[in-house]
Structure 1
Amino acid sequence: MADVNPDRTRERRLRDADRGQLLVVAGLVMAVALVALVVLLNATIYAETLATRGVEDADREAADVRAAAVGGVGELLEATNRAGPSSHAAANDTVLEGVADLDRRIARSYADRGGAVRLDADAAGLRRGKHLATDGNATSLANATGATTYAFVDGIDRTRAFSLSLAVDDLATTTAANATGEAFHVAFDGAALAGSREVYVYRNGSGGVVVANGTNGAAPTALCSVAAAPGENVTLDLTGERFGSAACPGVWPADLVVPTDRYGIGFANADAADGTVTATVRPRPAGTDPATDHAGVSPAVYDAAVELRYRTADLRFRTTVRVAPGEPRA
C-alpha cells in the first residue's frame, strides 16, 4: 500500500532541495576558485615580465652610459696625445681637466633623463706612454739620417692605435717570394716573441695592394688586399687589424695581443714606401722612455682608469673602466 503520509512526502522534497542547493553552492565555489587561480597566474606572469623587462632596460641603460664615458675619454686621450704635450705632467693635466669637463657634459645630458652620472679620474690612474708620428719625406719613410732600416721604437710592452697611411704610387711592385728584399715592411722582435714577425705592404702588379705576414725573415704569406688606383693612399690599421675599410684578421702578431715581455718595432726597406705612421706605446719598465730612432716622439697618456657612477630611481651602477683606444682586439 502506497505511503501517502503528507509529512514524509514534504521531508523528501526538502531533502532533495537541500541536495540541489549544495550542488549549486559547490559549483559556485569551484568556479570562483578557478577564476581566482587564473587571476593569480596571470598576475604572476605579468609581474615576471615586468621584472625581466626592467632588468633588460637597466642593463641597456648602464651599457649606454658606460659606452658614452669610454668613447668620450678615448677621444680625449687621442686629442691630447696628437697635440704633442711638452711633458707627461702636462699630458696628465690636460686629460684630468678633460675628464672633469666630460663629467659635467655627460651629467647634464643624463639629468634630462632622470639619471645622475659621475666620472672621476686621478693621476694615479693615468699611465705614461709615448706618441710616435713620422711624416716621412718626399720619397720614403727613411729616418732623419736617411736609414731605410731602423728601429721605430724599442723597449715597450703595449701598442695601440698603430696606423700607416701609404701612397700607392711609391710602394714596391713585387711578389711574396721577393717581398723580403724589395717590399716595405714592419718588423717586430724581442723577448715577447719566439723569433721575429714581419708585416709587408706592396703592389702585386695587377692594380692591388697586398698585406702579407712573415716569420723570421722567410717569404711572407698574403693575408688581404685592396684595389687601389694610382695617386691614392691606402691605410693599414695594424692594431685594429683593418686594411682600408675591410677587416684583415691576423695582421697583428698574436703574441703581442697581451705580451708578457718587451719587444721592439722596426721598419725595413723604408725607401719602398712613402707616407705617415702613428702609434701610441707603453714603455717597459713602467715610467721609462722607450728607445726611438726618428723624430716625432712626444709624451703621451697610454691609458686611463676612470671611475663611473650612475644612479636613477631604480638603478645603482658603479664601475672602474680602463680606456685604451685602439688596442689589439679590444
Structure 2
Amino acid sequence: MADVSLGPPDGKRLREADRGQLLVVAGLVMAVSLVALVVLLNATIFTENLATRGIQAADGEAADVRTTAVGGVGELIDATNREERESHEVTNVTDGVADLDERMARNYAGRGGVVHLETNESRVTEGWYLSTAGNATSLANDTNATAYAFVDGIDRTRGFSLSLSVDDDDLANTTPSNATGEAFHVVFDGPALSESREVYVYRNGSGDVAVANGSAGGDPEVRCSIAAESGENVTFDLTGERLGETACPGVWPVELFAPSDPYAIRFENADAADGTATATVRPRPAGSEPGADHDGISPAVYDATVDLRYRTADLRFETTVRVAPGEPRA
C-alpha cells in the first residue's frame, strides 16, 4: 500500500506561503485606503460646492433686497422734489420710507424673510430742485436772457438732465470750431475749479446731435453723438454722462465729483436750444439758499440715509445706505 500520510512540514514552503499571504493582505489594505481617500475627497469637494453655492445665493439675495430698498427710496425722494414744495419739510420722505418698509416686509415675508427699513429727519439732507420748465422761450431764463446762472453756490449736483428738441429751428447747427459762439453750452466755474469747463450741445453737419466739451473757452472736443430726426426730443444726462442711450464719458468735470469748494452752473447761448433743464443740488454752506437767475428753484431733498436689515433662517444682513439718485458715478 502506498504511503499517503503527510510528512513533517517543509520550512521553505511555509515561509513562501506566509510571504504570499502578507502581499495579499497588504494589497487589500492599500486598496481599501485608496477607496477611503477617494470617498473623503469627493465628500470634501461636494461640501465645498454646496457651501460656495450657499454663499453666492445669500449674496444675491442680500443684493436684491438692497437694490429694491435703494431704488424705492430714490424714487420717493425724486417724486417729492418734483412737487416743487414751499418748504424743506421732510415728513413725507420719512413717512414714505415707513410705507416702503411695510410693503417690502409683506413682499419678502412670502419668501421667508424679515425686512426692516428706516430713517429719520436728522439723516435727510436738504437740497434745492431746479427746473427751467417755466421759462418762456428756448432755454433762456424768465427774462429771456441767453447767458445766466442756472445755479450758484453749491458743492453737489445730481440728476442734472437736459430734454432738448432737435427740430432744425430749435437746436443750433454748427461745428466744434464755431461752437463757442453759436452752440448752447453749460459752463461750470467757481472756486472748485482751476479754470472753467464747458459742455456744448448742437447739431453737426450730418444732422446728428453732438456733445463736446472744452475748458477756459477753448475749442471743444467731441465726446459723443447720436442720430436724431427732426421733431424728436433727446435727453442729455450730464451727471450720468449719457446722450440718449449712448455713453458720453468725460462730460462731467472730474473736479466736481466730490469738491470741497463751491461752484456754479451757468448757461450760455441759451437761445440756441429749446427744451428744459432739471437738477437737484446741495448748497454750500449747508442750509443756505443757492443763487439762480430764474424762478424755477424750490426746496428739496438732496439725499437720505437709511438703515436696512434683512433676516432669513440662513442669512442675516444689515447695512446703512446713503441714497442720492443720479449723483455722478454713484
Report the TM-score, using the length of structure 2 for normalisation.
0.92
Per the alignment, residue 94 of structure 2 pairs with 96
Q: Does the aligned pair in 1 maintain the 2:136–2:142 contact within 8 Å? A: no
Q: CA 1:77/1:9 → structure 2, altered by over 3 Å: closer, same or farther?
A: same
Structure-2 separation of matches of 1:309 and 1:182? 53
**Structure 1: which amino acid aligns with 2:165?**
A
Asked if 1:244 is matched to 2:230, the reply is: no
Aligned to 1:303: 303
| 131-140 vs 176-185, which moves further | 131-140
Q: Given that residues 137 and 274 in structure 1 are in contact (C-alpha distance below 8 angstroms), is that contact kept between their aligned partners in structure 2?
A: no
- 1:1-330 alignment, distance < 5 Å: 6-9=6-9, 19-89=19-89, 92-135=90-133, 137=135, 139-169=137-167, 170-330=170-330
Q: Percent identity?
A: 70
2:254 alignment partner AA: A
Query: Which stretch shifts more, 17-26 or 168-177?
Result: 17-26
Query: Residues 173, 19 of structure 1: CA spacing in aligned structure 2 closer, same or farther, 3 A cutoff?
Result: closer
> Distance between the aligned counterparts of 1:276 and 1:198, measured in 2?
18
Distance 2:81 2:273 in 1: 25
Number of aligned residue pairs: 325
Shift of 1:139: 3.3
Matched AA of 2:317: F
SS at match of 2:102: helix
Q: Give the superposition deviation at 1:97.
A: 0.9
Deviation digits for residues 263-322 of structure 1, max 9, x if unmatched? Answer: 001111111111111100001111111111111211111011111111111111111011
Aligned residue type for 1:215: S
Letter of the structure 2 residue corresponding to residue 83 of structure 1 = E
- Deviation readout 1:192-240 (Å, 9 max, x if unpaired): 1111011111122431222111211122222212222222222111001
Amino acid at match of 1:71: G
TM-score by length of 1: 0.92
SS in 2 for 1:8: coil
Q: Could you tell me how far apart the structure 2 residues matched to 1:15 and 1:176 are?
A: 102
Structure 2 distance, partners of 1:128, 1:320, is: 19
Report the Cα offset of residue 157 of structure 1.
0.4
- List alignment gaps of at least 5 residues for structure 1: none
| Partner amino acid, structure 2, of 1:262 | P
Aligned partners of 1:21 and 1:177: how far apart in 2? 98
Determine helix, strand or coil for the equivalent of 1:43. helix
* Corresponding letter in the other structure for 2:161: S
The one-letter code of the counterpart of 1:301 is: V
Q: Give the direction of change, closer, same or farther, for the CA distance of 1:14–1:204 in structure 2 (3 Å limit).
A: closer
In structure 2, give the amino acid aligned to 1:56: Q
Gaps of 5+ in 2: none
Q: Which moved more, 1:8-17 or 1:77-86?
A: 8-17
Letter matched to residue 186 of structure 1: V
SS at match of 1:178: helix
Q: C-alpha distance in 2, partners of 1:257/1:100? A: 31
Letter in 2 for 1:156: I
Q: Distance in 2 between matches of 1:125 and 1:137?
A: 34
Distance in 2 (CA, whole Å) between partners of 1:137 and 1:98 is 31
Of residues 12-21 and 71-80 in structure 1, the stretch that sits farther from structure 2 once superposed is 12-21
Q: Distance in 2 between matches of 1:19 and 1:245?
A: 82
Matched residue type, 1:33: S
DSSP 3-state at the match of 2:9: helix
Q: Deviations over 1:101-148 (max 9, x none)?
A: 111111111111111111111112111100101125453222122211
Q: Retained in 1: the 8 A contact 2:124–2:304?
A: yes
8 A Cα contact 2:134 2:296, kept in partner: no
Q: Tell me how large the CA RMSD over aligned residues is.
A: 2.0
Q: Judging changes above 3 Å, is the alpha-carbon distance between structure 1 residues 31 and 145 closer, same or farther for their aligned structure 2 residues?
A: same
Structure 1 range deviating more: 310-319 or 130-139? 130-139
Q: Secondary structure at the match of 1:110?
A: helix
1:228 corresponds to which letter in structure 2?
A
